[in-house]
Amino acid sequence: MSDTAFDLLAPHVRSSSGRSLWLADENLLSAHIPANESVVAITNRFDLQQHLQKQGWKAFFSDYDLSIIDDESLDSVIYRISKEKPVVHHLINEAYRCLKPTGKLIIAGDKNEGIKTYFSKAKKMFGSGNCSKADKDTWLAFLEKTDLSTETRLDDKQYHQLRITASDDNYEYQSKPGVFGWDKIDKGSAYLIENLDSFLMTLPEPPKNVLDLGCGYGYLSLNLAPLDIPITATDNNAGALLACQRNFDRYPVNGRVIAADCADGITEGFDLIVCNPPFHAGFSVDGDLTDRFLKAAHNRLNERGIACFVTNLHIPIERKAATLFHQAECIMSNGNFKLVRLSHAV
């Protein structure tokens, strides 16, 4: 898929000289950009790091932890702004710290993502800059670090701080900005847990292990802990993995947290798989994501096991699953979400 804002930045990624940092926070899995030895890439997406490394890039996977970069050591930073304000503020703050005097921050984004506001705030911090309109929606901005005395930092909501963001009768959930749905309990996931027994009663015997596909901060996994079976939680987002591990550590969860793209690299089979699949990738709605989660469930589900999916009503998951599973049936819905049971068994 194409992203106009990143298309504006791509020439700078390719041609950047000196010591440069590319903050990669978008869906670029279809992009093929020749590696630039002057540029280091940092991304919070495991799949993007793997993709870039295969193309020869020096690419690092973290929750945008830029502590590996010294103060005033970079000539340029290139960044396609993220969806979430605290992430953008955190990375603008870090760019200012890492850039040399007269170093440049190059950013791009859409008007409805707040690019003009981000530019205005960053210009007050950096000292100078200019912003140009590429089309009716997309803007490209250059900021130069000429004000070396500023103590102003944009409010990043203490980006790296894990904190209790939601709770219910059973658990307090820790999360942070940068994790999808970080400050709430997802209603679809709660609906799945409320009706988990309706899934489990269809198993021929109690499950011996469980896979949480796209675990986020670990809501489903924590609520599966009373089953007292090994839990494997996997996600593509660095912040989600940190939050999930923290929640595992705070409660008696018999589990492990693994960075993986749709369970890629996991070879174990599972009796029970739970999944609330995302349908956004980068900055666009991506219908293929559901297909990829279904394929992962197909590959990792044991012959007599079941996969439990919760999705929005409009996603035709039963039709998508029909070629991968012997059984794909909606067991209930509530007007907003549906619960779909998948099985290999005849």
Token pair in block for residue 136: 């009716």
What number of helices (H) and strands (E) belong to the chain?
10, 18
CATH number for the domain that contains residue 81: 3.40.50.150
Does residue 282 surpass a pLDDT of 50? no
Q: Which two tokens stand for residue 153?
A: 């930092």
Asked if the model's pLDDT at residue 140 lies above 80, the reply is yes
**Is the predicted pLDDT of residue 259 greater than 80, yes or no?**
yes
Is residue 6 pLDDT above 70, yes or no? yes
Q: Which residue has the higher pLDDT, 29 or 240?
A: 240
With cut-offs at 50, 70 and 90, classify the pLDDT of residue 29. low
Residue 234 tokens, joined: 């996997």
Residues 181, 303 within the same domain: yes
pLDDT of residue 32: 80
Quote the mean pLDDT of the chain: 94
Structure tokens belonging to residue 169: 């009768």
Q: For residues 201 and 187, what is the distance between their CA atoms, to the nearest angstrom?
A: 23
Q: What is the pLDDT, as a whole number, of residue 346?
A: 75
250 and 111 fall within a common domain:
no
Average pLDDT for residues 27-55, to the nearest whole number?
Answer: 89
Out of 145, 179, 213, a domain closes at: 145
C-alpha of 52 from chain center: 16
Asked whether residue 204 falls in the same domain as residue 328, the answer is yes
Q: Which residues pair with 339 in a beta bridge?
A: 310, 332
CB 2 within 8 A of CB 283: no
Residues 279 and 199 in one domain: yes
Q: Is 5 helix (H, G, I), strand (E, B) or coil?
A: helix
Q: How many domains does the chain have?
A: 2
105 falls within a domain? yes
- The Cα–Cα gap between 44 and 159 comes to 13
pLDDT band at 155 (very low <50, low <70, confident <90, very high): very high
Lowest mean pLDDT, pick from 16-30, 51-65, 94-108, 172-186: 16-30
What pLDDT score was predicted for residue 283?
41
CB atoms within 10 A of CB 158: 12
Percent of the chain with pLDDT over 70: 96
pLDDT digits (tens, 9 = 90+) for 92-118: 999 999 999 999 999 999 999 999 999
Measured distance CA(258)–CA(260) in Å, rounded: 6
Cα–Cα distance list, 128 to 46, 119, 133, 145, 183 (Å): 34, 10, 17, 7, 35
d(CA 284, CA 2): 9
Residue 152 belongs to a domain: no
What's the mean pLDDT in 226-232?
A: 97
Same domain, 134 and 184: no
Of 145, 178, 193, the residue at which a domain comes to its end is: 145
- Strand bridging mode 39-43 / 172-175: unpaired
**Residue ranges making up the domain that contains 134:** 4-145
Q: Is residue 154 assigned to a domain?
A: no
- Asked if residue 128 and residue 22 are part of one domain, the reply reads yes
Residue 119: the pLDDT is 98
Please check whether residue 177 is in contact with residue 86, taking contact to mean a CB–CB distance below 8 angstroms.
yes
Q: Is 319 domain-assigned?
A: yes
Among the listed residues 252, 173, 157, 268, the one whose alpha carbon sits nearest the alpha carbon of residue 215: 173
Tally the C-alpha atoms within 13 A of residue 5's C-alpha that lie toward its C-beta: 27
pLDDT value of position 245: 98
Residues 167/173, Cβ–Cβ less than 8 Å: yes
Residue 151 counted as domain residue: no
In a domain, 153, yes or no: no
Residues 6+ apart with CB under 8 A from 284: 1, 3, 27
- Asked if residue 1 has pLDDT above 60, the reply is no
Same domain, 140 and 171: no
Contact, 94 vs 65, CB < 8 A? Answer: no
Alpha helices, H only, 195-344: 196-200, 219-224, 238-250, 288-300, 317-321
Same domain, yes or no: 108 and 196: no
The residue written with tokens 């986020």 in the block is 216
pTM of the predicted model as reported, rounded to 2 decimal places: 0.94
Same domain, 189 and 275: yes
Confidence of residue 3 (pLDDT cuts 50, 70, 90): confident
Is there a single domain that holds both residue 337 and residue 189? yes
pLDDT of 25 over the 90 cut: no
CB atoms inside a 10 Å sphere around CB 76: 22
When pLDDT is averaged across residues 325-346 and rounded to a whole number, the result is 95
Q: Distance between CA 237 and CA 295 in Å, rounded?
A: 19
Looking at residue 150, its pLDDT comes to 80
Q: Is residue 333 included in any domain, yes or no?
A: yes
Q: Is the pLDDT of residue 291 over 60?
A: yes
Q: What end-to-end distance do the CA atoms of the chain give, in Å?
A: 38
The pLDDT of residue 26: 66
pLDDT computed for residue 27 by the predictor: 59
